[in-house]
Structures are given as structure tokens and as C-alpha cells.
Amino acid sequence: MTLLEVTHLKKTYTGIFSTQEVQALKDINFSVEKGEFVSIMGESGSGKTSLLNILATLDTATAGEVMLEGKDLTQIKDSEISNFRRDYLGFVFQDFNLLDNFSIKDNILLPLVLSNTPITEMENRLMPIIQKLKIDGLINHYPYEVSGGQKQRAAVARALITNPKLLLADEPTGALDSKSSQSLLETFEAINDAGQTIIMVTHSTRAAAYSNRVLFIQDGEVYHEIYRGEQTPDQFMDKISQALVVLANRGEQHE
């Protein structure tokens, strides 16, 4: 079943003080099935963050359609956006975005507090998630008392606590050492195996190799896509690296 369908998406930035326009997304088309784990790769400036920001309803599109379970994100009223975001989407960012003055537990529960969820319901949801993410011993600590890998696990717990339809991750391993990165990616793989749909922007071929499909963006368009299929992560990583080389050569020819 299709969860997300992006059609003819365009994003043009217009400077406030200049007449110069930047066409960050020219014509993006792709769809994501429920339960997929999709990575988005591309060179710096290719439009990945612009795309993710529109999927996250943090920015508006210039043209095109983004349908999530039949609802067009580009048409949601401003007054409904925060509720929509909370009910449908979970976010994981490179720099964790945890609140320093809140304990790990309060950080994780924050989206439920904001939607006035009863305390018993919050406690019921917390326990399985912190156990799954192996942070059950840390929930009374503050973010500055735990490691980067543990902070990112707390951020994933916060993203999952609302049971989002779609988990969006922007360079989630970007600030982690290789051991914490691997552990986080194994967690993503496990939550995906349990049915969670994930879209992840990454520069890391190793990270992308954990997903089922990689979309390559160049000059604001989806240039290529590859599926993991039955390949091992190492075999898929080789395929991703080869595709990135082709993409880089193509980029040089365009310059």
C-alpha cells in the first residue's frame, strides 16, 4: 500500500533582498510503500534537505503534490499543521534536538504532553519503547549526562512515542562514532522490520546500505534509484558506492 506519493514537486527559493532565484527542487517524483525504509542520497546542494523539510511540513512547496495517506501536505491549513505533524510524523535530526533542562524521560514524553495524553497512557507507551531502544536505565538522566549514541536513541524514542505513520531522519548518524552509528542503524532496521516506514537523508553509504531502497537526487530531480533486494548490506554498499561515482561523473560533465 502506498503511504507517500510525491508528484511534480518544486521548490524555488527567492531571496528577500535579491531578485536571484534558486531552483532547489525542479521536478521530484517518487512514492514510498508502507513499511519501506528509503534512503535519500545526493551531493551537497542537490536538494535533500529542501525535500525533507517539505515532507516534514517545516517548509512549503512552490508547486506539486505530497500525498501522505491520501492527505495533501501542501494544502494543510497553518492552524492544523502542528497537530498533523504530531499525529503523522516523527523526526530524528543529526544534532538530536533534545531539551537540556528536561530529563530523558520528559524529552521522550514531550510530544504526548503537548497533545494532552493521560499520564497512564504515557507510562504505558514509554516502557516498551525505552526497552526496545535499550535506554530504560537512563530515563532519569539529563541529556548532558549521556553519550551521543544514547542521546540519539532518546531522540528516536521521542519520535516513535506518537506511533507516527512516517519517521523522517536527517543525517541521524552524522554526529555519532562508528560503533554508535552501527547500533542506531541496527535499531532502525529492527523498527522497520516491525513495520515502521522510514525515510532517511544520509551522506553515508554504510548507513544507506541498511535501507531497502536508495533514491539519488541530483540538481533537484530524482536521478536514479536502487533496491537492496536479497543483497547483503556489504553487497548493497558496493552498489551504492558505484552509483555515487556515476552520479559524481555525471555532475562534472554538467559543470
Ligand X SMILES: Nc1ncnc2c1ncn2[C@@H]1O[C@H](COP(=O)(O)OP(=O)(O)OP(=O)(O)O)[C@@H](O)[C@H]1O
Neighbours of 136 (CB within 10 A): 13
Cβ closer to ligand X: 13 or 227?
Answer: 13
Among 36, 42, 57, 222, indicate the residue that binds ligand X (CB under 6 A): 42
Among 38, 48, 172, 185, indicate the residue that binds ligand X (CB under 6 A): 48
Asked if 28 interacts with ligand X (CB under 6 A), we say: no
Cβ closer to ligand X: 197 or 204?
Answer: 204
Residues between 49 and 78 with contacts to ligand X, criterion CB under 6 A: 49-50
Residue 120: all three cell numbers together:
497512564
Q: Which stretch binds ligand X (CB under 6 A): 2-10, 42-50, 93-101, 116-124?
A: 42-50
> Is 129 strand, coil or helix?
helix
Using alpha carbons only, give the angle 97, 157, 123 rounded to the nearest 5 degrees. 120
**CA gap 130, 110 in Å, rounded:** 14
Rounded to the nearest whole angstrom, what is the least distance from the CB of residue 84 to ligand X in the complex? 22
Q: Whose CA is closest to 176, among 217, 141, 207?
A: 207
Binding string, residues 220-239; x marks residues near ligand X by CB under 6 A: --------------------
Cβ closer to ligand X: 73 or 130?
Answer: 73
The alpha carbon of residue 116 and the mean position of all alpha carbons in its chain are separated, in whole angstroms, by 25
Cβ closer to ligand X: 58 or 146?
Answer: 58
Asked if 172 interacts with ligand X (CB under 6 A), we say: no
Rounded to the nearest whole angstrom, what is the least distance from the CB of residue 155 to ligand X in the complex? 19
CA quadruple 231, 180, 165, 220: dihedral sign? negative
Cβ closer to ligand X: 138 or 176?
Answer: 176
The alpha carbon of residue 197 and the mean position of all alpha carbons in its chain are separated, in whole angstroms, by 10
Cβ closer to ligand X: 24 or 159?
Answer: 24
Rounded to the nearest whole angstrom, what is the least distance from the CB of residue 14 to ligand X in the complex? 8
**CA gap 202, 185 in Å, rounded:** 12
Question: What are φ and ψ of residue 23, in 5° steps?
Answer: -90, 90
Rounded to the nearest whole angstrom, what is the least distance from the CB of residue 224 to ligand X in the complex? 15
Q: Which stretch binds ligand X (CB under 6 A): 48-56, 96-104, 116-124, 189-197?
A: 48-56
**CA gap 232, 234 in Å, rounded:** 5
CA quadruple 206, 129, 157, 80: dihedral sign? positive
Neighbours of 182 (CB within 10 A): 16
Among 3, 6, 41, 47, indicate the residue that binds ligand X (CB under 6 A): 47
Cβ atoms 11, 25 nearer than 8 A: yes
Cβ closer to ligand X: 48 or 153?
Answer: 48
Would you tell me which residues interact with ligand X (CB under 6 A)? Answer: 13, 22, 24, 42, 44-50
